[in-house]
Amino acid sequence: MSLILKRSQSTIPKLPTHKPFSKAQQAYLERVIRVDQAGELGANFIYAGQYLALSHKPELKPILRRMWDEEIHHHNTFNSLQTEYRVRPSILTPAWKAGAFIMGVATGLLGKEGAMACTEAVETVIGNHYNQQLRTLSNGFTDIQELDSESCSDSKTISDLKETIKVFRDEELKHLETAVEHDSHEARPYWLLTESIKLTCKAAVFTAERI
């Protein structure tokens, strides 16, 4: 406890600490926040739909509930980042809500295997997407100078964002593992189902980044 206090006291910097982002960097960060917020909103609503369709099965209920709670936490985190950083949310938010909820209910009605195959497909796309973002955040933001020293470093904004995305990516990949453990490969038609969901997710990512 005292260690934490000490740390927080010694690291209160004079704000701002870094020079402005370039326009391309700002545009990229806006995209990251917007698409991640929309994505977590989608995940939240997919689980809501699956929970609605499957919560009457006692062996599935706690698993779905645990994953859903984590998605709610992710969604809230990106919501607060969006307001803090003054990023415009995706204008299609109502469509994402409806689409994700319908996808959740539909795959839930296919049964346990269908729901798990949906989770597997979604988390595959999201995991890759987060990795891509981490790569760009590591490579594209190395040239921002500190205000007092001229040397380049990550500001707290960038390092916090990277940390958040890393944690979330690991949690999403854990969901993927859970889905595979619970027979996602038994879903029929497995290939058609997962590939079409992956395609839908990629199209949604492409759109949410832009509008």
Partner 1 sequence: MLFRGSIAKPNLYRATFTNSITNRLFHTVYHADIPILDESIFENKILKKAYEDHVPETGFTEESIKLAAKGLNYNLDNLKGVFNFTSQSKDLRVELIQYHLKSCRLKLRNYHNDANRLQTETERVRFYLEKRLLENKPIIKYYHQALARMILPSNLTESLNELHKLSDDISFYSGDKSNDFAWYSKRFSLSGVFIQSELFMLNDRSNNFENTIEFMNDKMDEVDNMAYAYNSFEEWAIFNGISTVNLIKSQLARG
Q: Residue 26 or residue 196: which is nearer to partner 1 going by CB?
A: 26
The radius of gyration computed from the CA coordinates of the chain, to the nearest angstrom, equals 19
The residues binding partner 1 (CB under 8 A) are 15-30, 33, 37, 52, 56, 79, 82-89, 91, 93-94, 97, 136, 139-141, 143-145, 147, 155-157
Q: Residue 43 or residue 193: which is nearer to partner 1 going by CB?
A: 43
Q: Determine if residue 186 is labeled as part of a ligand binding site.
A: no
- Minimum distance of partner 1 from residue 107's CB (angstroms): 17
- Minimum distance of partner 1 from residue 202's CB (angstroms): 18
Please spell the DSSP secondary structure of 107-150, one letter per residue: HHHT-HHHHHHHHHHHHHHHHHHHHHHHHHHHHTTTTPBBTTT-
64/72 Cα distance (integer angstroms)? 12
Q: Determine if residue 113 is labeled as part of a ligand binding site.
A: no
- Minimum distance of partner 1 from residue 140's CB (angstroms): 3
Annotated binding site: 40, 71, 74, 123, 172, 175
